[in-house]
Amino acid sequence: MATYTKSKSAGSLILQISLAILFLIQGINTVFYGSLPFRQLFGSDELGKIVGIILGIVEIAAGVILIIQFFTPVGSSVNSLFLLILLIVVIAEIVFYDVLGSHGLMYGKIFASRDRFFSFLESLAGHLLMLGAIIIVKN
């Protein structure tokens, strides 16, 4: 296991492991089952599948890299670049899923029912938690 400075708390280590698992699961789900929001967003089955697969692969790679970083320290410039890419991916997910997606703010008619509204809030909260967790792990 890599040695960590005292500034790296147990909480941030747990957060890093949790993020890694979340990115792995979400990436696998996006690659195999999650291209529907992208197909609806782009109005094209092919483009939606391609975007979904690319995003899923990036998420899987992010999970693997976060796990590797737990065991092997990576240079700070590489780590910063990697976490910046993750921030961009999560912000893209917020835009694609929570704002522009078929169940998102723009097209999802989230105020049509209580279930849609709470589903939207749950998705948005999850993505915002991921965003905050990346920022904490980055520091």
Is residue 111 predicted with pLDDT exceeding 80? yes
Residue 19 tokens read as 């993020």
Name the more confident of 12 and 79.
12
CA–CA distance, 42 with 60 (Å, rounded to integer): 23
Is residue 125 predicted with pLDDT exceeding 90? yes
Confidence of residue 84 (pLDDT cuts 50, 70, 90): confident
pTM of the model: 0.73
Is residue 9 predicted with pLDDT exceeding 70? yes
Judge contact between 137 and 79, C-beta under 8 A.
no
Q: Which of 10-19, 59-68, 70-79 has the weakest average pLDDT?
A: 70-79
Residue 37 is predicted with a pLDDT of: 67
Q: Report which of 19, 6, 55, 54 is spatially closest to residue 135, judged by C-alpha positions.
A: 19
CA–CA distance, 38 with 78 (Å, rounded to integer): 30
Q: Which residue carries 């040695």 as its tokens?
A: 3
Residue 53 is predicted with a pLDDT of: 85
DSSP letter, residue 125: H
Q: Which of 76-85, 104-113, 114-123 has the weakest average pLDDT?
A: 76-85
